[in-house]
Structure 1
Amino acid sequence: MENRIEGKVVAITGASSGIGKATAELLAAKGAKVVLAARRAEKLELIADAIKKTGGEAVCTEADVTRRDEVQALVNLAVTTFGKIDVMINNAGIAQLHRMEDLDVEGWEQMIDVNLKGTLYGMAAALPEFKKQGYGHIINIISTAGIAIVPTMGVYAGTKNAIRTISEALRQESEGRWRVTGISPGNVKTEFVSHIKNEALRKTSQEKSDQIAIPADAIADAIAYAISQPDNVDIGDIVIRPAVQS
C-alpha cells in the first residue's frame, strides 16, 4: 500500500500529551515531519527527542493557542524548517463542566478562547500557506459532546459545534483546494479530565473514563487514515468513541 503520509509536514497543537502526542508519534513513524506545539515546552522537547532517536523528524515550539502570534509562529516554524506545511491539526482543547446556572463565566471564556478562537487561529495561520501552495489539509479535533448534548457540557459542546459548522463551511469554500476533516472523539484516556475545575464532576468523569475510555492511539489512527487518503478524497467527519458509550 502506498504511504501517502511519508514526507508530509504536519503541525499539531496540544502535542505534549494525549491525542496530540499519540498522533505525533504515529505520523512520525510513518515518515511525516512533525512540528509540535503546546504550553509545556519540556514535555514537547522529550517527545521530539524520542521521535528523532527513532529516526523521525520533529521540531517543537512552546505555544499557547489563545495567542494568535504564537500559533502563527508554529506554522512559520514548519515552513522555515521544512519548506511547507501539508497538514494543520488543531487539537488543543479544554473542558470546564458546570450547570449553566452556576455561571462559570471564567470557564466559558476559557473554552471559547482555547477551543474556538485557538482553532480559528490555527486555521488563520495555515490558510495563507495553503493558498500559496494550492493544497493543504485542516484537521480539527471536535467532540462527541457536540453530538449528544447533556447537562453540564452546554458551553463546551457549543464551542465544539461551532468548530463543526466552521469546518464544513471551510470545506465548501475550498472548492477542492484543500481538505478539511473533523474528528469527534468520545471518551479517550488522556489528561483531559484532570483539568476540570469542578471537583465533583471531575471525579465522576474520571471514574467513567477509567471504566470505558479508549486509548489516544485510536484517535491517532483515525487522523492518519484521513491524511493518508488520495488528494482528491476528503474525509469530512469521523466519530470515534468507546463501543459502550451512549
Structure 2
Amino acid sequence: MKIDKKVILITGASSGIGQATAMKLAGKGAKVVLCARSEDKLEKLKKEIEAEGGTAMVVTCDVTKPADFKNAVKAAVDEYGAVHCLINNAGLMPLSYLKNLKTDDWEEMVDVNIKGVLNGVAAVLPTMIENKEGHIINISSSAAHRYFPGGAVYCATKAAVKMLSEGMRQELAKKYGINVTSIEPGAVDTNLFNTITDEEVLKQMEGMKDMTTMEAEDIAEAIYYAISQPGRVNINDVYIMPTEQQ
C-alpha cells in the first residue's frame, strides 16, 4: 500500500527498531501513532518527527494490558479516522539457561512477546475488518528458525509469533484484505541485550562483540519494503541477518 497519510501504530516506539521505524515511516508521509510505556521518550520522538515535517501522536501503552491496546487503537481512530497498519514491535530478550530457573523472565517474555502481540491483533482487527483493509507487521526473529544457547524460551516465543503470523495471513488476507508479515531479524544493535541477567549467557555472548551487527534502521527499511507493496502483494516474511552472523 502507499503509506502517504496512512495511519500506522507502532509498539515499542520509544527506542530501537520501533523508534527507527517511526522516523522512517513518518518521513514517507505516514501518520505514526507512537506507543510504549515511556511517555517522556515518546514525546521526545514526536518532537523529532514533527521537526522533520512529519505527523505523530503519543499514546502510552503497556502491551500486556488489553485495555491499554484498545485505548491506543481508539485514540488513533478518534484522531485520524482509522488504523491502516499495526507494527507489533515491543519485545523482550532476557536470555537464560533453563537450569537457572529464571521463571519470572520466562513469564515476562511470554506476556510481552506472545500475549502482547495477541493483544494488538485483538485491538486492531475490528476496525481493519470493518474497513476491509490493513497490514499487521509482527516482529519475530531469526530465533524462530533455530535454537541458540540460553534462548530456549525466547526462541519459543518468536517461533510462536512466526506461526501466528502465517495463521493470520491465511485467515485474514483473502477474506478481509488484511496483509500480514513476519519480520525475522538476526542480531541488531538495540537495547534488547541489556535485558539479559544470566551471567553464563552473557559470557557465552562475549564473542558477538566482535561482530558487526545490523542497525535498527536496517530493520526499518525492511518494514517499509513490506508495507509499501500494493495490496495484491503480501510479503509473508523477511528473514534478515548481519553479513557476519553465522
TM-score, scaled relative to structure 2:
0.95
Q: CA RMSD in A?
A: 1.4
Tell me the equivalent position of 1:18: 16
Which of 21, 40, 53 in structure 1 is aligned with 2:51?
A: 53
| AA aligned opposite 1:197 | T
Residues 128 and 49 (structure 1 numbering): CA distance in 2 closer, same or farther, change over 3 Å? Answer: same
Cα offset for 1:202?
3.5
Structure 2: runs of 5+ lacking an equivalent: none
With 83-92 and 190-199 compared, the bigger mean Cα shift is at: 190-199
Q: Is the 1:36–1:61 Cα contact (8 Å) retained in structure 2?
A: yes
Residues 118-160 of structure 1 show CA distances to partners (whole Å, capped at 9, x for unaligned) of 0000100110111110111000000011112122101101011
Residues 206 and 30 (structure 1 numbering): CA distance in 2 closer, same or farther, change over 3 Å? Answer: farther
The reply on whether 1:196 has 2:199 as its aligned counterpart is: no
Tell me the equivalent position of 2:4: 6
Tell me the equivalent position of 1:141: 139
Tell me the equivalent position of 1:123: 121
Structure 1: runs of 5+ lacking an equivalent: none
Q: Is the 2:9–2:85 Cα contact (8 Å) retained in structure 1?
A: yes
| AA aligned opposite 2:145 | I
Residues 96-136 of structure 1 show CA distances to partners (whole Å, capped at 9, x for unaligned) of 21111222111110000000000000100110111110111
Q: What pairs with 1:162-173 in structure 2 (closer than 5 Å)?
A: 162-173=160-171
| AA aligned opposite 2:111 | D
Number of residues of Structure 1 aligned to a counterpart in Structure 2: 244
With 97-106 and 29-38 compared, the bigger mean Cα shift is at: 97-106
Tell me the equivalent position of 2:157: 159
Cα offset for 1:212?
2.2
Tell me the equivalent position of 1:228: 228
Which of 99, 102, 112 in structure 2 is aligned with 1:101?
A: 99
| AA aligned opposite 1:196 | I
Q: Distance in 2 between matches of 1:72 and 1:170?
A: 19
Which contiguous aligned blocks of 4+ residues in structure 1 show a shift greater than 2 angstroms? 199-207, 209-212
Residues 69 and 102 (structure 1 numbering): CA distance in 2 closer, same or farther, change over 3 Å? Answer: same
Cα offset for 1:209?
4.8
Q: Distance in 2 between matches of 1:203 and 1:82?
A: 48
| AA aligned opposite 1:108 | W
The reply on whether 1:73 has 2:76 as its aligned counterpart is: no
Residues 206 and 72 (structure 1 numbering): CA distance in 2 closer, same or farther, change over 3 Å? Answer: farther
Q: Is the 1:78–1:84 Cα contact (8 Å) retained in structure 2?
A: yes
Residues 176-205 of structure 1 show CA distances to partners (whole Å, capped at 9, x for unaligned) of 220000000110011110111224424654
Secondary structure of the residue aligned to 2:115 is: helix
Q: Distance in 2 between matches of 1:190 and 1:210?
A: 16
| AA aligned opposite 2:157 | T
Q: Distance in 2 between matches of 1:209 and 1:184?
A: 21
Cα offset for 1:211?
2.7
Q: Distance in 2 between matches of 1:211 and 1:81?
A: 43
Q: Is the 2:173–2:180 Cα contact (8 Å) retained in structure 1?
A: no
The reply on whether 1:213 has 2:208 as its aligned counterpart is: no
Identity across matched positions, percent: 44
| AA aligned opposite 1:189 | D
Q: Is the 1:193–1:206 Cα contact (8 Å) retained in structure 2?
A: no
TM-score, scaled relative to structure 1:
0.95
Q: Is the 1:5–1:30 Cα contact (8 Å) retained in structure 2?
A: yes
Cα offset for 1:238?
0.2
With 37-46 and 167-176 compared, the bigger mean Cα shift is at: 167-176
| AA aligned opposite 2:208 | K
